[in-house]
Structure 1
Amino acid sequence: MDGPVGGSRASGGNGMVSNQANDTTTVAADDPKQNLNQVINSVQKTLGLLHQLYLTVSSFNAASQLPLLQRLNSLVSELDNMVKLSEKCNIQVPMEVLNLIDDGKNPDEFTRDVINSCIAKNQVTKGKTDAFKSLRKHLLDELEQTFPDEVEAYREIRANSAAEAKRLAQSQSMLPNGDVKVKSEL
């Protein structure tokens, strides 16, 4: 016969889930993380009910008709509860993830592909930045050989400008008593 499904589900000695008030709908509806946890718990409870249904159907006889009907009612009730809970959750799932799931693949592949794509784009951008730095250094070296006085004046102007920008940044972010001021954009 079928036994109780493990975990913290309430079950009787005959493997039946006892009907108890569902307290997941009485929690504050404003906390998105808690709403998501409630949906996850409902999904897990539904999976447990499906497992119990499988056990009941696989060993079905005339005496197990009432437990089967009770489990079907519990499943319908939990699916209804899941729909109500899911209405409070605003989760956007990329279509690519749903397509992967439909194809029977692991959705973690999508995450891995996105991360690999970001790494590749980052490497291309870093390569371009390094190329421009190298070009700038090469141009400054060539200019210094031809116009040494002008390049020296340019470097002094850049150093003074950088020091002034640093001083302004520090003065804007520090209060007179040494605390850091937080910028607020309105």
Structure 2
Amino acid sequence: MTTANISPSTENAPLVATIDQLQGVIENFIELGVLVHDNQGTQQSHTALIHKTNQLIGQLGSLESNTDNEQYPIPIDVLTYIEDGRNPDIYTREFVESTAKSNAKLKGRMQAFAQLRDVLGEKLVQELPRLKDSVEEIKAKTS
């Protein structure tokens, strides 16, 4: 994740800071993984492992206690998606696609109801000419 896609305005400053914190946490997880993998069992490697673990715990605590993150709530569905080992970008793409399909369906329904309104209004005016003003008024209000 990079901050290149986020404008450097003061409005986005908390988001940029959070991204930087997350990048630091990710780097520390990688370093911790390397330390665990290369652990020789010596006191020096044990001390380095403890130091890196404490550093990571401090970073996670700082990230969790940051109140700026509350303005960017993350939906539970996204967290579940990530916990299942799936890419959140795919979740976003699927969400956008399903929303676009839903919007297209709703647009079709709205157009169908508008056509029904127009046809029904025409038939009413043909059968009951005295209702013409009322029908036109309704059409104007619902257009």
**Aligned twin of 1:43:** 22
The Cα shift of 1:56 comes to 4.4
TM (normalized to structure 1)?
0.50
**Aligned twin of 1:107:** 88
Give the Cα separation in 1 of the matches to 2:59 and 2:11.
17
**Aligned twin of 2:79:** 98
Matches within 5 A, 1:116-127: 116-127=97-108
For residues 76-107 of structure 1, what are the alpha-carbon distances to aligned partners after superposition, in whole Å with 9 as ceiling and x for unaligned?
A: 12421331232122143222212212222112
Give the Cα separation in 2 of the matches to 1:110 and 1:54.
28
TM (normalized to structure 2)?
0.61
Give the Cα separation in 2 of the matches to 1:57 and 1:142.
80
| Aligned-pair identity (%) | 24
- Rg (Cα) greater in structure: 1
Gaps of 5+ in 1: 1-30, 163-186
Gaps of 5+ in 2: 1-9
Runs of 4+ that moved beyond 6 A: none
* Alpha-carbon RMSD: 3.6
Q: Is contact 1:38–1:85 with CA below 8 Å preserved after alignment?
A: no
Decide which structure has greater helix share. 2
Q: Aligned with 2:22: secondary structure?
A: helix
Matches within 5 A, 1:4-153: 33-61=12-40, 65-66=43-44, 69-70=47-48, 72-88=50-66, 89-90=69-70, 91-148=72-129, 151=132, 153=133
How many residues are aligned here? Answer: 128
Give the Cα separation in 2 of the matches to 1:129 and 1:37.
41
